[in-house]
Amino acid sequence: MESLTVTVLFAIDLPDELRRWFDARLAELNDELSGPGAVRPQREEFRQDASAPGDGAPNGIAPGAGDACVAPPGIRALYASPDGGTDWASSDAAKHAAEADIVVGWRCTKEFLETAKRLKLWIFPGVGVQRLVPLFRDMPEERRPVLCNCHGNTYATAQHAVALLLALTNKLILHHNWLAAGQWRKGDADAMSITLRQRRIGLLGYGKVNEKVHRFLSGFDVEFNVLRRNPGKGQFALPVSAEYGPDRTGELMQASDIVMTALPETPHTIGIVGAPELAALGPDGLMVNVGRGPVIDEVALYRALSDGVIAGAAIDVWYDYRPEPDADGRKYPWAPEHPFHKLDNIVLSPHRAASPIFAPGRWEEVLDLIKRKIEGRELVNVIDLEAGY
């Protein structure tokens, strides 16, 4: 006897409210799949023995197995926390690897993929898949699941990029600190605002985030230059003054007053902005980064800010995501010899541009990918493992 249950493993710490939201939406999806004329999960890749993996438990879920939550027959949702620690291989999520047809998760290990022999699709519920790509690329092609990411965070990330830019141009942090210290109305002598009117904005990368940054900033009477991987491919919805390819990064920097960076981390983008590019931006130039930290060389960025090579920066993404505490217990995601926190021409943000992470709206793409896979339809946001994104 066969079971046509599809197991979706959420290998991620989801709050109870979001779990209930997923349960309700998966129940709706199951009803759709069970309705007249529906495309049901009866394709060969999802066929399995009904007695596995549980022992007579409903839908094969053994009592007490992780934080199991049963969707109606057809789709089984299993919530298993990765424990938030470094030993992901021994976590609750890893214990259920062999059961999963589809996984939704941030992190993975080689051991998990070797155990997950039924796995057909891994859904990364964000954008930056640079840690997963090598694991999937090294798998035998005949066993390799599809890796997809999601862009539900792009509106929030673009909004945060604009907020960082305005905090930088209007010197909000400096004036806040002065007023909090009782220094009333210091005026323009020490920190004059920079108007955006007629500035040239360089968009370094033109994916979903910078597309929205382009739209959000269009009302400020600015011009736009764009650098993207394939210049000339496709039309822009909004005006662009000039377009550049990756081999012309320095030209984009020189032609721009402000550069908004939203590049993924790949072998081709790491260090794409170094000392020469920052020098090309110039002493009045501003840099905003909501992509990935290593896109901008750490040493070059610190020196450019401390030596006045550029005027300022606003950074949300960094270099060391497991920093050791200093003697006072403080943790900084940069090397000790680059004390960005001591500079007054930088706005610091702790990698939170994607907030709110658990707003249900940003998870709609996850549900769409689950449905597409079950129905055998074309997947979206499939990662090119050679390109790295």
Same domain flag for 214 and 171:
yes
160 CB-near residues (< 8 Å, 6+ apart): 290, 316, 349, 352, 353, 354, 355
CATH of the domain at 97: 3.40.50.720
Same domain flag for 60 and 118:
yes
Same domain flag for 146 and 159:
no
Same domain flag for 158 and 301:
yes
Q: Is residue 323 part of a domain?
A: yes
Same domain flag for 111 and 203:
no
Same domain flag for 45 and 121:
yes
Is residue 196 within 8 A of residue 221, CB to CB? The reply is: yes
Same domain flag for 17 and 79:
yes
**What is the pTM assigned to this prediction?**
0.84
Query: Residue 13's domain spans which residues?
Result: 2-153+357-375
Same domain flag for 98 and 112:
yes
Q: What confidence score (pLDDT) does residue 60 get?
A: 35
Same domain flag for 273 and 340:
yes
Q: What confidence score (pLDDT) does residue 46 get?
A: 57
Taking the mean position of all CA atoms in its chain, how far away is CA 167? Answer: 22
Q: Is residue 384 part of a domain?
A: no
Same domain flag for 131 and 171:
no
Q: Is residue 388 part of a domain?
A: no
Split into its structural domains, the chain has a count of 2
Same domain flag for 53 and 116:
yes
Other beta carbons within 10 angstroms of residue 310's beta carbon come to 22
Same domain flag for 230 and 246:
yes
Residues of the chain with pLDDT under 70: 1-4, 35-73, 82-90
